Chains A and B, each alone.
Chain A
Amino acid sequence: MSKTKFGEYGGQYVPESLMQPLKDLEQAYEKAKNDDAFKEEYNYYIKEYVGGPSPLYYAKNFTKHLGGAKIYLKREDLNHTGAHKINNVLGQLLLAKRMGKKKIIAETGAGQHGVATATGAALFGMKCTVFMGTEDMERQQLNVFKMEMLGATVRPALSGTKTLKDATNEAIREWVRTVEDTFYVIGSVVGPHPYPTMVRDFQRIIGDETKKAILEKEGRLPDMIIACVGGGSNAAGMFYSFLEEKEVKLIGVEAAGLGLDTPLHAATFAKGKKGIIHGMKTYLIQDNDGNIYPVYSISAGLDYPGVGPEHSYLFDTKRANYVSVTDKEAIKALYLLSQKEGIIPALESAHAVAYAMKIVPKMGKDKIVVINISGRGDKDMHTISNLKKDDGEN
C-alpha cells in the first residue's frame, strides 16, 4: 500500500501549488509524531484543557430498557467545546506552532469544528479565519457568534451550494494562495494526504482510552463498537485502536436523512460510487458526470457527500460495516437516551444510538457494545425544538 493511500483511496488530488507544502507538512508531522515532547504537550492539553480522558460510562438504564447487550457510552460529549473535534484541533495547532505558522484557516459546516479551531487559536494566540457556507451561517447563528467572540473571523463561503463542501473548497482555494505562512486545520479524516492519517492519529485517543477503560471494567474487549460517520473522524479514531482485534465488530452509521429511497440523504456507502473530492479518492455521492451536489441530513455534522478514505478501505475490505439510520430514527434515539440516562447526545451521535436500538435487543446479555457519544446535543436544541413534538417522542 502506498504511504499516501489506504488501498486505492486517499492520495493527493490537489493543485500542484499545494504539493510541496503538503510534503513539508507530512515531514513536520512525522517528526512531531516521533517526538516525546510533542506527545507530552498534546497529552497535557488533552488532560488539563479538554478534561480527558473522557469517561466510558456504563448505561445501566438504557441497557435495561433495550434488554440485550450491555451498553457503554464513550463520553466525548464531555470534552471542552462539547465534542471530539477538539482532540484533532489541538494536535494540529500544536503542529502549526512547531512549524512557526501563526495564521490558521479552517472550514466548518455546522460550526463545531470552527468553534473548536477558534478556541484553540485563542489559546495559542493565533490568527484564525473560518470559512462557512452562507446557508450554514444562517442556520447556525449561535456558532458564528461564538467564533467571533473567541476572536476568529468568519468568512462567508458564497460559492456553489453555500454549505460545508463549498466552505471546504473556499478554504482550500485560500490555502493555495497563502500556503507559505498559513496552516489549514481540516476538521475530519478527509482531504489530501497526510490529513486523513494525521487527523485519525489525533483522534485515536478515543479508541485508546476506550480500550483501556473497557479492559479495566470488564477484563475483555467489547463485541461491537458503534460510531456515526460523516467525514468519519470520531469513528476513525475509535476504530483504529481495534482494527487488529478482528473479534470486535466495527459499525459506522451514516445519515439516511429522509430515507434512502429519496434523494435527501448523506449515505455515501449506500448510494455513492468512487470519486474525487477535496483532494482525496473515496466513495462519493455524485451525478453521472461526476458533479457533486448537496446531500442532506438533519445532522449538519453528517451532511457530507464524501467520506474519509480510510473508511472506504475498511468498507471494501469489510473490516468495518456501514449502515444508515434516518432523521426520524436519530431523533427518537436522542429523546430516548436523554430520558433514560439524562444524556442529550448530538444529533450526529444520536445516529449511532439509533442503530444500537436496532441491534442491541437482538444480542445476548453477555455481550458488550460501546457507542461513541461524539458530541453533546446543546447545539441541536434549536433544530429539535423546531420539529413537531409528535415527530420525535416515543
Chain B
Amino acid sequence: MNRITKVFDNLKKEGKTAFIGYITSGDPTIKRTEDLVYALQEGGADIIELGIPYSDPLADGKVIQSAALRAFENEIKVDDIFKCVQNIRVKTEVPLLFLVYYNTIFSMGNEVFSKKCKKVGIDGLIVPDLPLEERDELKKFTDEDNICLIPLVAPTSKSRVKDIAKNSKGFIYCVSSMGVTGTRDSFNDNIVEYLQEIKKQTDLPIAIGFGIRDKKTVDFFSKHVDGVIVGSAIVQVVKKTNGDVKKVKEFVKELSGK
C-alpha cells in the first residue's frame, strides 16, 4: 500500500486529521531542506510536500514564488532534489510528495520522472497545471509505479468532482478558494458546503489547502476534512529564520497541535 493511503487509514482509525506541511526544495539550501523535512515531521506533519522550484509557477502566490527564486540563487537542479529525497528516505517513512509543475516532469520525460520518483521513494505528485483532461499522459506511468497523482478540485469544479476523483488514489486536494497559494484574510461563507459536496462525490480522503495560516483555521477545517495543508505560512517562517530548524519545528508544532 502506498504510504499516503496508509497514513490516512491510520489517522482515520484514531479519529484524527492529517497535517500536511509544504516547503520549497532548496530554500534556503538543498542541504537544509533535508533537515527541514525532519523538523516538519517532528513538528507533527503526517505528510510532507516538497516543492520543486520552477521558473513560471502559475498557481503560486508571492511567498512561494520568492522561495523558488531563493532556491534558484543557489542554482538548484531537479537532480539535486531527487538526491535529497533519496537521503531522506533512508531515515524516515513519512509520506513525501512533490509539488511540481508539469513542464518540469515533461521536459525530463513522463516515464523517466515517474520511475525516478519510485526509485527515491516519492509517494505522490501534485501537479497544479495538469487537470483531468490532460492527466492521462502522466497517470499511465504513475499508476504503474504506485505513485499517487493527487487530483485538485476547486470551487468552480462542481459537477467535475466525480470524474476528477474517479480512478484517483491518495487524497483529493481541495483548493479553498479562487486564486493562487498564499494567505487569505477570510474564506467564503459557503466553504463548508463546498467541502461537504466534495465528500458526497468521493470515498477518498479530502484535504484542504491554499490560505491556511494559523491554528484557528487548522482547527476549524479539521472538523470538515481528512487533511489540512499548510504551505506559504511555513515558507514564510523558513524565510524569516533563514531555515532555522528549531523555529520551523516549533511553528509546525503549534499549527499541527501534535
Residues of A in contact with B (beta carbons under 8 Å apart): 4, 11-21, 159-160, 165-166, 169, 172-173, 176-180, 273-279, 281, 284, 286, 288-293
Q: Which residues of B contact A286 (CB under 8 A)?
A: 103, 107
A16 near B104: Cβ-Cβ < 8 Å:
no
- 9 A-B residue pairs with Cβ-Cβ distance under 8 Å, sorted by A, are A11-B133, A14-B58, A16-B157, A16-B164, A17-B155, A173-B179, A179-B178, A278-B56, A291-B56
Does residue B78 face the partner (Cβ distance < 8 Å to A)? yes
A17: which of B107, B132, B164, B178 is its contact (CB, 8 Å)?
B178
Q: Name the residue of chain B whose CB is nearest to the CB of A13.
A: B129
A19 near B133: Cβ-Cβ < 8 Å:
yes
Does residue B134 face the partner (Cβ distance < 8 Å to A)? yes
Of the four ranges (under 10, 10 to 19, 20 to 34, 35 or more), the interface on chain B belongs to 35 or more
- B100-127 vs A, CB cutoff 8 Å, 1 = contact: the mask equals 0111111110000000000000000000
Cα of A348 to Cα of B102 in the assembled complex, Å: 31
A137 smallest CB distance to B (angstroms):
19
Does residue B92 face the partner (Cβ distance < 8 Å to A)? no
A352 smallest CB distance to B (angstroms):
29
Cα of A279 to Cα of B56 in the assembled complex, Å: 11
A20: which of B55, B129, B156 is its contact (CB, 8 Å)?
B156
Q: Which residues of B contact A15 (CB under 8 A)?
A: 58-59, 128-129, 131, 152, 154, 175
The B192-244 residues at the A interface (CB cut-off 8 A) are: none
- B139-165 vs A, CB cutoff 8 Å, 1 = contact: the mask equals 000000000000111111110100010
A14 near B160: Cβ-Cβ < 8 Å:
no
Cα of A15 to Cα of B132 in the assembled complex, Å: 10
With A17-B156, A19-B156, A290-B104: A276-B180 Cβ-Cβ less than 8 Å = no
A19 near B180: Cβ-Cβ < 8 Å:
no
Cα of A88 to Cα of B139 in the assembled complex, Å: 36
A276 near B154: Cβ-Cβ < 8 Å:
no
Cα of A367 to Cα of B155 in the assembled complex, Å: 58
Interchain Cβ contacts within 8 Å, total number: 122
With A15-B152, A289-B77, A290-B108: A279-B129 Cβ-Cβ less than 8 Å = yes
B131 near A16: Cβ-Cβ < 8 Å:
yes
Q: Which residues of B contact A19 (CB under 8 A)?
A: 131-133, 156-157, 160
Q: Which residues of A contact B164 (CB under 8 A)?
A: 16
A21 near B180: Cβ-Cβ < 8 Å:
no
Cα of A279 to Cα of B180 in the assembled complex, Å: 15
Q: Which residues of B contact A276 (CB under 8 A)?
A: 101-103, 106, 129
Cα of A11 to Cα of B106 in the assembled complex, Å: 14
B107 near A13: Cβ-Cβ < 8 Å:
no
Q: Point out which of B55, B105, B179 has the most chain A C-beta atoms below 10 A from its C-beta.
A: B55
A91 smallest CB distance to B (angstroms):
24
7 A-B pairs with least C-beta separation? A290-B107, A177-B179, A291-B55, A17-B154, A290-B103, A276-B103, A20-B156
